Homo-oligomer: A and B are copies of this chain.
């Protein structure tokens, strides 16, 4: 099973602590070693890093751990190949442009017999069911709105579209356009809201803890969404299966 990590915050926030525990699952404490990727929005721009090396040994992952890139919206993925060979073009997250915004998508799960008609302007480069699902979602979003809709409108459209994919299998995904983070769980996704008063958190996968109170201001709000809880001492909430959630400025929208 692949692992997903998403972050949405009301102020540019670095993801080094959470990524550190998450990256350990890419080959060290878990068996996901078929590549990984991460995308950071900075305003409308996006930094996109993918690697088909294990996230626990990749020099690019090492850069992400050491270099505190600050972002309000992050999506990361560690891959255990179910469909498609282990190659760069099959590493999540995937990026496309629509309405003059970049859209970033990562998927955990396996879709069976999902071969939608892609008549339009979004075609998969690789061979995964995940990129096919993303292209179909982009195609259908493009048909549903003339320009970037509000977060609420986009959530409503996703709630109509997602079940058409989810009936083909497990469809846990994260999606962001730099403004909001959307997630859907068929099986496992958990989130935590970090806010004042900030406390200490200890990673499950690494002997590392951080006192967020020392690194935050009173108004900071951060939502972290992940396949399995990353820390042992925070209030992780399991996402209700079958429902599309959205976070804006570090809070549920």
Q: Which residues in A have some Cβ–Cβ distance to B below 8 Å?
A: 42-51, 59-60, 63, 66-67, 87-91, 95-102, 120-126, 142
Contact = CB atoms under 8 A, between A and B. Distances in A.
Interface SS of A by simple majority: mixed
Contact of A59 (B49, B67, B89): B67
Q: How many copies does the complex hold?
A: 2
A42 B87 contact: yes
Given A59-B67, A95-B95, A96-B97, A89 B125 contact: no
A209 B190 CA distance: 52
A169 to B, nearest CB: 23
Contact of A102 (B46, B47, B125): B125
Contacts of A43: 87-89
A47 B45 contact: no
A48 B45 contact: no
B100 A45 contact: no
A100 B102 CA distance: 17
A100 B125 contact: yes
Contacts of A123: 97-100
8 A-B pairs with the lowest CB-CB distances in the bound complex, closest first:
A45-B88, A45-B89, A100-B123, A121-B121, A42-B88, A44-B89, A59-B67, A63-B63
